[in-house]
Amino acid sequence: MENEAINDLLKRNQLSVTDSRKKILDLFLKNSGALAHSDIEKKAGERFDRVTVYRTLQTFVEKGIIHTIPTADNAVLYALCKDECSSGHHYDNHVHFVCDNCNVTYCLDEVVTPEVKLPKAFKPKVIEVVVSGLCENCN
Amino acid sequence: MENEAINDLLKRNQLSVTDSRKKILDLFLKNSGALAHSDIEKKAGERFDRVTVYRTLQTFVEKGIIHTIPTADNAVLYALCKDECSSGHHYDNHVHFVCDNCNVTYCLDEVVTPEVKLPKAFKPKVIEVVVSGLCENCN
DNA sequence: GTAACTGCAAAATATTTGCATCCTT
DNA sequence: AAGGATGCAAATATTTTGCAGTTAC
């Protein structure tokens, strides 16, 4: 479907276009929420090799195609980056939302990270905000 | 040193006062920053059994004595809770700061989590904020 | 004395690495 | 054809579980 878009995205990042990469990217595009490593292993109709998933995710993070989301329970989640994320320099300027009920994690791209006033000696660079509660579907 | 305080804290939470618990709590009190599981295994003059550390940390989290801090690189960090945290109901109303240079994580208890405006369908419950940059010492 | 806690062994998971093979360019 | 990507095997690392011995109350 968005085959062209996927190919483009990979080529733009100097990555060769391979099956697993296309399929994993497709998973992210079809899922509004964030995915855990295990989601990817499971959700793929055909299963990928664990190692391939590890390596693919790592490559995507390095290229700034996806980013990790820190969660309170320290599960490792990944989500697609917006276009502004350049290679290796992901600045997370949006809010993440984890639903306590359905457990889906959303990137609320339209909600901009608020200002935080720190003690003067601290120099902030990146601000991560993760909100949990009930999402639009479970509310 | 703050031996009495430590004993009190444990007793107040219906935990028996044991050596490992006292020593691990002491580590937290002596360290302004947050600690990872591995820090605790290492920093203790005498090493604890891995398993004991796991179980002790878990117990402390359940009792609301410490809380976990989500970090961008998904390392698992723990820090002391302020007194308001009641058993099993930790509400993280302060900001965490991770220094990119010295790598210490601070609980900025005096910096209150800002308001975040979400799409109306989302009902927020807990807001976690993690800021990274340069801390007061590395600045 | 009893219940709770610890520490060892071992099981279950998760992650990383090496290398031969296959695929993309 | 050459370099990169994959997949298998195996090495490491992390976390959990069971149980017998020890300690706190």
Q: Return the CATH number at B28.
A: 1.10.10.10
Report the pLDDT value the prediction gives residue B58, as an integer from 0 to 100: 96
Is B96 contained in some domain? yes
In a domain, B139, yes or no: no
Query: Which residue is closest to A123 within chain B, CA to CA?
Result: B134
- Is A129 among the domain residues? yes
Handedness of CA A14, A58, B68, B45 (dihedral sign): negative
For the cut 70, the answer to whether the pLDDT of residue B48 exceeds it is yes
User: Does A75 map to a domain?
Assistant: yes
- pLDDT of B91 strictly over 60: no
- CA closest to B111 among chain A residues: A118
The number of folded domains in chain B is 1
Residue pair B57/B64 in contact (Cβ under 8 Å)? The answer is no
The reply to whether B32 touches chain A by the CB within 8 Å rule is no
What is the mean pLDDT of each successive set of 10 residues along chain A, which is 139 residues long?
85 95 93 87 76 96 90 83 55 79 85 85 90 91
| Whether the predicted pLDDT of B45 surpasses 50 | yes
Q: How would DSSP label each residue in B90-130?
A: ----EEEEEETTT--EEEEEEEEPPP----TT-EEEEEEEE
Q: Is A122 an interface residue toward B (CB < 8 Å)? A: yes
Q: Is A17 on the interface with B (CB under 8 A)?
A: no
Kindly report which amino acid residue has its CA closest to the C1' atom of nucleotide D9.
Answer: A51
Residue A4: how many other CB atoms lie within 10 Å: 8
Task: Say what the pLDDT of residue B88 is.
Answer: 47
The answer to the question of residue A138 being in a domain is: no
pLDDT at B69 over 60: yes
Identify the bridge partners of residue A55 per DSSP, sorted by sequence position. none
Which of A8, A43, A2 minimizes the C-alpha distance to A24?
A43
Would residue A139 count as lying in a domain? no
Check if the beta carbon of residue A78 is closer than 8 Å to that of residue A68.
Answer: yes
CB contacts under 8 A, A 77-96 vs B, are 92, 95
Rounded average pLDDT over B9-36: 92
Predicted structure pTM score: 0.84
Inter-chain contact A132–B128, Cβ cutoff 8 Å?
Answer: yes
Residue A47 lies in domain: 3-133
CA angle A97, B127, A83 (to 5 degrees): 40
Tell me if B129 is assigned to some domain.
Answer: yes
Task: Flag whether B126 is in a domain.
Answer: yes
